[in-house]
Amino acid sequence: MIAITVTQIVKDQNELSEAVGSIKTYSDYPNKFWVTERVVGGYLYRTDLHIPDGFRDVVQPSYNTETQSRGAIYFDEPNDYFTYFVIDKTDAQIQAEKVSASEQRKTEIIQADIVVTAEAEAQASDDDTSLDNQPLFPFWSGDGNEYALGFKVQDFTVDNELALYKVVQAHTSQPTWNPANTPALFTRIQLDVVLEWVQPTGAQDAYNIGDQVWFGVETDVYESTVDANVFAPLVVAGQWVLV
């Protein structure tokens, strides 16, 4: 950061709005400027003019933020740069800031607790309620997360639809084991939608009485007549009925 003291000449020739005697700061040298020479482009590179025109670096002072604050900018003539006054805070100011910080931290703790409680209640809810409150569920991550049986996560389908999935086999996540492409680990939670039959990996994702799937073609919908059904329709007689 750099700065310059606004003189009458600086103000008039550069059409500045700042008052004469004030200090104007810049993040970098302007493209055009006029004090000793009128430069309408590339003033940034006219290093021969910067010092003569009055530009100087702005040096940030070091201070204890708990007991001091940064004041107004001024020109430090002995050191030939601009810097800021450092002001000692009063006891009342120090105490007020600590009270404010404590109240802010309390709010953060309360909000975090509310989120944790809401997420825990969402995980324990039934599928209907879970879908109604889908934003409460965490997003799936392939970074080695430990996913327990029944845990629910959000992730995208192959069509980029944000969906809710339930873990059907406990596992440690891996980048390629995303819910949409790993039916052995996840099942999508959907209501009033008949999904294609998928080979269960065990009792945790087997079909139960009343579960419906389509098999072969979407118009062929079958309903399981037994619990713990791991067989495809038409494989074992009496385990599925065409509806």
Same domain (yes/no): 82, 16: yes
Q: Is residue 48 part of a domain?
A: yes
Which pair of tokens denotes residue 87? 């002001």
Q: Is residue 120 part of a domain?
A: no
Q: Strands, DSSP E only, in the chain?
A: 2-5, 23-26, 33-34, 38-39, 56-57, 68-76, 81-88, 146-147, 152-156, 162-167, 171-172, 186-188, 195-196, 212-215, 217-224, 240-242
What distance in Å separates the CA atoms of residue 104 and residue 112, rounded to the nearest whole number?
12
- What are residue 100's phi and psi, to 5 degrees? -65, -40
Same domain (yes/no): 198, 183: no
Same domain (yes/no): 151, 185: yes
Same domain (yes/no): 54, 30: yes
Q: Is residue 19 part of a domain?
A: yes
Same domain (yes/no): 179, 140: yes
Q: What's the distance, Cα to Cα, between the start and end of the chain in Å?
A: 76
Which residue segment(s) compose the domain that 211 sits in?
Answer: 194-243
CATH number of the domain to which 174 belongs: 2.10.10.20
Cβ–Cβ under 8 Å, residues 197 and 215: yes
Cα-based distances in Å from 175 to 8, 17, 42, 209, 223: 65, 57, 50, 34, 34
Same domain (yes/no): 85, 134: no
Q: Is residue 114 part of a domain?
A: no
Query: Which alpha helices (DSSP H) does the chain contain, by range?
Result: 8-14, 47-53, 91-124, 127-132
* Buried-exposed string 57-96: b where 16+ CB fall within 10 A, e elsewhere: ebeeeebeeeeebeeebeeeeeeeebbbeeeebeeeeeee
Q: Which of 67, 89, 111 is the last residue of a domain?
A: 89
- What are residue 107's phi and psi, to 5 degrees? -60, -40
Give the pLDDT of the chain (243 residues) as one tens digit per residue.
999 999 999 999 999 999 999 999 999 999 999 999 999 999 999 999 999 999 999 999 999 999 999 999 999 999 999 999 999 999 999 999 999 999 999 999 999 999 999 999 999 999 889 999 999 999 999 999 999 999 999 999 988 999 999 999 999 999 999 999 998 899 899 876 788 898 988 887 899 998 889 998 878 899 999 999 999 998 888 899 998
